Chains A and B, each alone.
Chain A
């Protein structure tokens, strides 16, 4: 019986991802043919990437209750690892123009492309590079986790925040420039072109996180969040499980960082600041701390508002009667008001700790209940 259940879950997950992939192909067609929809595809791409990153943060901050602010640091490591390992050899001289083409003289996607055929090989190489990006971020998490995870709440936040800043400074350091290109941008690396590729890859990663959250380990994480002392008294090794959650979260932050590098087409360390962590934290809080579907909905709303629906507010052509009200940046004012409204009315985020399927189940029950009463 249990086995069937698992099979069903697996099927539902795969079908959901497939549906999203098909929808994204549709979205691309719509964007190409309907006026005013040109932003649809970039917004959805960013939503896919940011969803994964937000969900990975939620695993640590929401499900395990460890308030870490180092996410931008792990994303940076992931983005740089991806970029450095996948710039085609021929283009390295141009990218690393001040450093004689840099020290890395291979490109994983290119190598696989040569080995296994241009189309399949490149994709496999890119996926492999993404995994490596995640692994390096995870390794760093393991290194700093030992001292940092002993700290409680605010101290943990400050320590991880400091770590992210240190990483950023390190990467920009001149001495490492032949590897990292210093404070110059990395670009021209291989990336996914179509929206559906982002959707499938991010979707699979999120599916894995969902599986973890609902496994016995996920339950242990939630126990640590809800009552650490009780968790320890019931035989859960706190240090080990906190570390596990931190490493998994950082792995997907690094992986997501790699996807983000793809989406942005060029990366520069200086854009991975604390405010990027705050942005993701904001998404997690809006969506609901401890809700995966909440994080995804939060991401869509956040990205949509900041990149698309509120853009018109920034266009000075819309100014009324010479009033310079609608100046660039005004959308952020409106956006902040939205955020405040959400936080005021949904104190625990849009979804709280619920998931979308829970809500559907609840509604169905309610409707059924009403029908019976009549």
Chain B
């Protein structure tokens, strides 16, 4: 790897065990500045769980996560898990670092959810504006008495621009849940962008979209990477999108990494074909 390449995300020996189920097993991977990297694998492989570990929703059972060359998460099997632990590298990690998801988001990581999680009662515009709350400079007093009017105005303007970018400007006053499925996925992306991330994590952004919408999304992800200087890490089942867009691909199966490499390498990897591509051909 050349010296100019900068790590944005590095996961080291992460294991996530729920009771006796090892959902993510000794996963190590890295995502570099400006890359689009995909995480693929059959249903239940542990992809979403890996995202949840990276974003602080779950505390890993063992292993650590680095973001922007700083260690942000670390854990080792403790208490009841000490006996139950089935993963590897026990004893390698000795520290506990477990920031809540909001802290991690504030560091510059934003995500979308596989099972859409928009704020139901809020308008499309407010869904985006709420995501800007984490960048506020106002406090309760100045916000209550509207001494932050300038900031509010700037945020509203930026939110409208984001909606414009995602083709949602004409529905800005609708309730978020009244949108069709594809637009809800777009809104999730707009909301994530509103937090000004360096790294964008997309959990199946094309789920439920038709081929044309998927193509548009592929182009769109490429565009926002340019425009916002983003690094993108995504989970996806649409192989066209993945092969088209990814710089590199990681493949998970039963929680374990079974392959990693460029789209060409992955497409011809026998293990991957057995585990995944063989299945998706039938589907």
Contacts and interface: CB of A to CB of B under 8 A. Distances in A.
A270 interface: no
A244 B140 CA distance: 9
Given A2-B153, A226-B120, A227-B119, A216 B148 contact: yes
A2 B144 contact: no
Contacts of A226: 119-122
Given A211-B145, A216-B143, A229 B117 contact: yes
A230 interface: yes
Contacts of B241: none
Nearest to A241: B133
Interface in B86-104: 100-103
Nearest to B111: A233
Contacts of A227: 117-120
Interface in B130-147: 130-136, 138, 140, 143-146
A230 B117 contact: yes
A237 B100 contact: yes
B130 A220 contact: yes
Contacts of B134: 234-236
B250 to A, nearest CB: 22
Contact of B131 (A212, A222, A235, A238): A235
Contacts of B118: 227, 230
Contacts of A223: 119, 122, 130, 133
Contact of B105 (A1, A3, A229, A235): A235
Interface string B144-161: 111011101101000000
Contacts of A219: 122, 126, 129-130, 133
Contacts of B119: 222-223, 226-227, 230-231
B57 interface: yes
Contact of B100 (A222, A225, A238, A244): A238
Contacts of B153: 1-2
B120 A2 contact: no
A232 interface: yes
A229 B120 CA distance: 13
Contacts of A230: 113, 117-119
Contacts, number: 108
Contacts of B144: 208, 211-212, 215, 217
A290 interface: yes
B122 A234 contact: no
Contacts of B136: 216
Dominant secondary structure of chain A at its interface with chain B? helix
B168 interface: no
B113 A234 contact: no
Contact of A234 (B100, B110, B145, B152): B110
Contacts of B101: 232-233
Chain B interface size range: 35 or more
B106 to A, nearest CB: 5
A238 B100 CA distance: 9
Interface residues of A, number: 30
A234 B113 CA distance: 11
A353 interface: yes
A6 interface: yes
A255 to B, nearest CB: 15
Interface in A331-374: 353
B122 to A, nearest CB: 6
Contacts of A231: 119, 130
A212 B138 CA distance: 13
Contacts of A233: 55, 57, 101-102, 105, 110-111, 113, 117
Interface in A1-16: 1-3, 6
Contacts of A236: 102, 130, 133-134
Given A215-B144, A234-B131, A3 B149 contact: yes
Contacts of B47: none
Nearest to A9: B146
Interface in B186-214: 191-192, 194-195
A238 B102 contact: yes
A232 B102 contact: yes
Contacts of A3: 149
A229 B57 contact: yes
A233 B119 CA distance: 12
Nearest to B201: A233
Contacts of B126: 219
Nearest to B106: A235
Contact of B195 (A217, A220, A229, A235): A235
A316 B126 CA distance: 56
Contacts of B150: 2
B129 to A, nearest CB: 6
B200 to A, nearest CB: 12
A215 B122 contact: no
Given A230-B117, A232-B102, A235-B133, A216 B152 contact: yes
B121 A237 contact: no
A216 B121 contact: no
A211 B144 CA distance: 5
B153 to A, nearest CB: 4
A232 B100 contact: yes
Interface in A198-217: 208, 211-212, 215-217
Nearest to A230: B117
Contacts of A290: 121
Contacts of B145: 211
Given A236-B133, A236-B134, 7 more contacts: A215-B144, A217-B144, A232-B105, A233-B101, A234-B195, A235-B131, A235-B195
* The 3 nearest A-B residue pairs measured at CB: A235-B134, A235-B105, A226-B119
12 contacts: A2-B149, A2-B152, A6-B149, A211-B146, A216-B133, A216-B152, A220-B133, A222-B119, A231-B119, A235-B135, A235-B195, A237-B103
Interface of A: 1-3, 6, 208, 211-212, 215-217, 219-220, 222-223, 225-227, 229-238, 244, 290, 353
